[in-house]
A and B are shown apart, each in its own frame.
Chain A
Amino acid sequence: MLPGQVVLSRSCRSPPHPGACAIHAADQPDLAEPAAADAAVELRGITKRFPGVVANHDIDIVVQRGHVHAIVGENGAGKSTLMNILYGMHKPDEGTITVNGKQAVFSSPSDAIAAGIGMVHQHFMLADNLTVLENIVLGSEPSRRGVLDSRAARAKIREISDSYGLDIEPNELVENLGVGDRQRVEICKVLYRGAQILILDEPTAVLVPHEVDELFANLRGLKAEGLTVLFISHKLDEVLSVADEITVIRRGTTVRTVHPAEVTARQLAELMVGSELPVPELRESTVTDVAELTVEHLTVRSPDGRPLIDDVSFVIHKGEIVGLAGVEGNGQAELVEAIMGIRPAESGHVLLGDRDVSRWHTRDRREGGIAYIPEDRHRHGLLLEAPLWENRMLGHQTERPNTRGPWIDRGGAKRDTRRIVEEFDVRTPGIDVTAASLSGGNQQKLIVGREMSGTPTVLIASHPTRGVDVGAQAAIWDHLRHARAAGLAVLLISADLDELIGMSDTLKVILRGRLVEEVDPHTVTPEQLGSAMTGAGPVAAGGVS
């Protein structure tokens, strides 16, 4: 199968007829309307307004008992608000919630829990220094004469673990567990409280592919026992493989409910977006033979001596986009950090043009012309609580127009921030608002705008369109294309295989810290690339597994 990180794999790339992939609401009857007979959850006309924003309106969803029901939508479409309403964290302004045929009003999560609804959050809420058992019972401890009755708790956890195949060891310390195990503990925690209806908020976001498989096996186990699962995601391949029904949310409201057998990933994506998707593609080659970034025999080791990057060499030319494909955790982050001088390399060289920058500090490399779009914009790309114009300075605080000698040039920085906001279409009421108040897509556009400012010769773009909406994605691709035409050398790292294939002049595959293969982006399919990434077989050998 394709790795779990593959976002939006469009099985309908280059369709025979342009219209073949679009579905029109009129073509098919809406499945959600009748059939509320055996509904576990029924949401009708849910509307929720926050001051100035309507987060949800006229939401209609019917979730059948014993189904895995997926809710998909873009970031900011209102999925999380909806689930928070169902979990009692927000009260809807209008509409009704019906659970197991009975109308319910939740004023807090404990009401929802009492009604048999449990939520597994995207970010785990476990105490590392407690055991699995202690974490599970935390907040609803069984006691005997005022003392924690761990024997009863252990028995109950074992029972839950066995009947749903969760494979949980109650005495293990949580800090020793991997991500997938922790998630199972979270699920067990919810089941322990008697949940019949589980809400899973983006459960696969933190998992590696085989953990995703395990999770899906668990979900099928829960389903077999008659439990209902609400599965929130924007990874369409996963949704299609695990869900019985899929409800699409766009701009705060339910658009359609469909059966996975009836739609392709691309159709779903278009339902999510409400229009045809932008296609990542490059026009004529602008590649020159001037080497802008040369990496020679670069090796990076972990503190315990394991090679994270193992003898990696490549060249990026002026006007070339080099894509780096790989399952996450195969050394991409380390490679980027080594190129940026954030992580020390053990051996090898990094050449910027013909200057050896291997021993340069990060700031010197940036001043030397390397622009950097970091993978995690919140941790590495922004000062969330600082105003936009200070964020425009970040990473460029030694350059005009932000500073003049040792002094900050407020006027210059602000003027240039306004230019970026304008040119890169950052949706913001002003440049004095904090970065935290912008949506992810607009934050990313600000970062892209900032990094394209000045005269960079090399751009290191780590997941430049991750977590941004389709409009911003198209805009960022446009900027990359323009910069490439203007001679920028780009290293593009992405988990979106379509983006990689469409936007790269040269495509390399990284596996366990080594560049294992170079593939032709014009001929390779996402499936071939996916199997090359997992080491299942080289594309060159024709090995499509």
Chain B
Amino acid sequence: MTERLNRLLLNVIAALLAAIFAAAITSVILLIRGDSPTLVISQMWDYGTQRSTELTIVNGATVYYLSAVAVAIGFRMNLFNIGVDGQYRFAAMLAGAFGGSVALPNGLRQVAIILVAMLAGAAWAGLVAVLKVARGVSEVISTIMLNFIATSLIAYCMRPSIFGVRAGNDVTTKPIPKSGQVGGLDLIPKSGGKVYGLILLAVAVGVAFHVVVNNTRFGFDLRATGRSASAAQSSGVNVKKMTAVTLVLSGAIAGLVGMPALLGDSHSYSSITFQTGLGFTGIAIALLGRNHPVGIAFAAVLWSFLDNSANILDLNNIPKEIVQITQGVVVLSVVVAYELVRRVALVRQQRAVGRALSTPTGTPVAEGAPA
């Protein structure tokens, strides 16, 4: 137990060190530009802790969280689902079109829209699964390709003859009526807005992810396959089936990424205004959070804080893109730090085991020495 605690502590320290290192690099760049790092930090902090910014941070973190969990499911099995981006956009488009046109009783309608999104995401990822299992195509390649294909397919589907509806200068799906929307929660008073109601869904996904991975047979098979596919196969895991199921599951969660905004804010899908790139952010956040449901939550909030609080910088003639450097460095350094921690912990444990075994048996080295 203390061993686990030690390891957790080491990981937290590693993450903190990576963050400090990233802050240091950013400071150096700011200094080179002639800006004061302390000023930048204090501005970001002041702006980031305002009520209205807190709201956008929480809402941003919610979708980041879902995206990162979708990626993390694959990572736990050594599968790189780079295609969360295409999966969630495709899913949001189909779910938007479905929600705007199919009438169902209140309550059921939201559930149906969410299910459609999950199915769409799962189906899009299912293509990757088929290619990988049947033909041996690397999921890295196929997911990236399918991101582009998704973009084109969405553009095609958004033609007025299919799902598209003109809305000013934009083309959107038919708006989802009130009975299909999910209202916000007034978690942050005086912020001038509401937190996505589907933040509860994100929490539920996180809990389910944790329980399934750690406490079920399926989760054990998944982790075993991730740690050693050959050992898992010998133990009776059907690795191909596991691969397919995991990819589909990852795609289903990816389908949820667009839901908080679709059902709680925009109420329709538009290729122009709907947020893109969340799938890639999810990869970074999953790495930062060590594919752990709690770690990912912290990482998502940090990421969202950096994104949103940086908006103040432009007003002061500091390019807000500076935080992208921070984000990039933090991910790179945290990956290195975690790997270091892993190795250090392994060696420490091997030594601890060696020590524990050599003491009680007395002095095993005393015997057999010549003269």
Contacts and interface: CB of A to CB of B under 8 A. Distances in A.
Interface of A: 25, 30, 50-54, 57-58, 60, 250-256, 274, 340, 342, 361-367, 372, 374, 379-386, 390, 393-398, 403, 406-408, 427-429, 432-434, 436-438
Interface in B160-181: none
B159 interface: no
B353 A429 contact: yes
Contact of A50 (B4, B238, B351): B351
A127 B370 CA distance: 43
Interface stretch (B100-108, B329-337, B355-363): B355-363
Interface in B314-363: 342, 346, 349-359
Given A342-B234, A379-B231, A394-B231, A437 B217 contact: no
A386 B227 contact: yes
B233 interface: yes
Contacts of B369: 57-58, 253
Contacts of A274: 367-368
B357 A429 contact: yes
B45 interface: no
A460 B36 CA distance: 69
B260 to A, nearest CB: 30
13 contacts: A25-B370, A51-B351, A57-B365, A58-B369, A60-B370, A364-B236, A382-B231, A393-B220, A397-B217, A398-B236, A432-B1, A437-B346, A437-B349
Main secondary structure of the interface of B (DSSP, over half): helix
Nearest to A25: B370
A397 to B, nearest CB: 5
A383 B224 contact: yes
Contacts of A427: 357
Contact of A372 (B224, B227, B234, B357): B234
Interface string B209-246: 00000111111110110011011111111100000000
B353 A437 contact: yes
A383 B228 contact: yes
Nearest to B350: A437
A223 to B, nearest CB: 27
B346 A436 contact: yes
Contacts of A381: 231, 234
A348 B353 CA distance: 47
Nearest to A255: B368
A51 B347 CA distance: 11
B8 to A, nearest CB: 13
Nearest to B356: A429
Given A362-B236, A386-B227, A432-B3, A397 B365 contact: no
A401 to B, nearest CB: 13
Contact of A251 (B3, B234, B342, B365): B365
B357 to A, nearest CB: 5
Contacts of A54: 365
B353 A438 contact: yes
B192 interface: no
Contact of A366 (B215, B236, B342, B358): B236
A408 B215 contact: yes
A432 B353 CA distance: 11
Contact of A380 (B221, B231, B368): B231
A406 B224 contact: no
B236 A361 contact: yes
Contacts, number: 140
A522 B369 CA distance: 39
B364 interface: yes
B36 to A, nearest CB: 45
Contacts of B219: 408
Contacts of B357: 427-429
Contacts of A367: 236
Contacts of B354: 50, 52-53
B111 to A, nearest CB: 24
The residue in B221, B350, B353 that gathers the most chain A C-beta atoms within 10 A of its C-beta is B353
A408 B228 CA distance: 19
Given A407-B215, A408-B215, A374 B234 contact: yes
A434 B238 CA distance: 24
B236 A395 contact: yes
A30 B368 CA distance: 14
A252 B351 contact: no
Contacts of B228: 379, 382-384
Contacts of B223: 386
Interface string B181-224: 00000000000000000000000000000000011111111011
A50 B347 CA distance: 12
Contacts of A380: 230-231, 233-234
Interface string B276-296: 000000000000000000000
A449 B183 CA distance: 57
Contact of B218 (A374, A385, A390, A406): A406
A385 B345 CA distance: 10
Contact of A254 (B221, B351, B358, B370): B370
B364 A385 contact: no
A363 B365 contact: no
Given A274-B367, A342-B233, A383-B224, 17 more contacts: A25-B370, A30-B370, A52-B355, A57-B365, A58-B370, A251-B365, A252-B365, A254-B370, A256-B370, A363-B235, A384-B228, A386-B227, A396-B235, A397-B224, A398-B236, A432-B1, A432-B4
A374 B228 CA distance: 14
A53 B355 contact: yes
A47 to B, nearest CB: 10
Interface in B1-34: 1, 3-4
A406 B216 contact: yes
A319 B365 CA distance: 41
A403 B220 CA distance: 10
Can you list the 10 inter-chain pairs with the closest CB atoms, starting with the nearest?
Answer: A52-B355, A363-B236, A429-B356, A395-B235, A380-B234, A437-B350, A437-B353, A362-B236, A53-B354, A383-B227
A341 to B, nearest CB: 8
Given A25-B370, A274-B368, A437-B346, A52 B220 contact: no
A266 B338 CA distance: 48
Contacts of A403: 217, 220
Contacts of B355: 51-53
A491 B358 CA distance: 36
Contacts of A383: 224, 227-228, 231
Contacts of A50: 351, 354
A415 to B, nearest CB: 16
Contacts of A437: 346, 349-350, 352-353
A361 B369 CA distance: 53
A250 B216 CA distance: 45
Contacts of A253: 365, 368-370
Nearest to B236: A363
Contacts of A372: 234
B346 A385 contact: yes
Contacts of B218: 406
Given A432-B1, A433-B3, A53 B351 contact: yes
Contacts of A252: 365
A363 B237 contact: yes
B364 A434 contact: no
Contacts of B350: 436-437
B349 A255 contact: no
B315 to A, nearest CB: 48
B13 to A, nearest CB: 20
Contact of A394 (B1, B4, B224, B364): B224
Nearest to B364: A251
A207 to B, nearest CB: 23
A398 B227 contact: no
A215 B368 CA distance: 33
A365 to B, nearest CB: 8
A340 B353 contact: no
B234 A362 contact: yes
A81 to B, nearest CB: 12
Contacts of A429: 352-353, 356-357
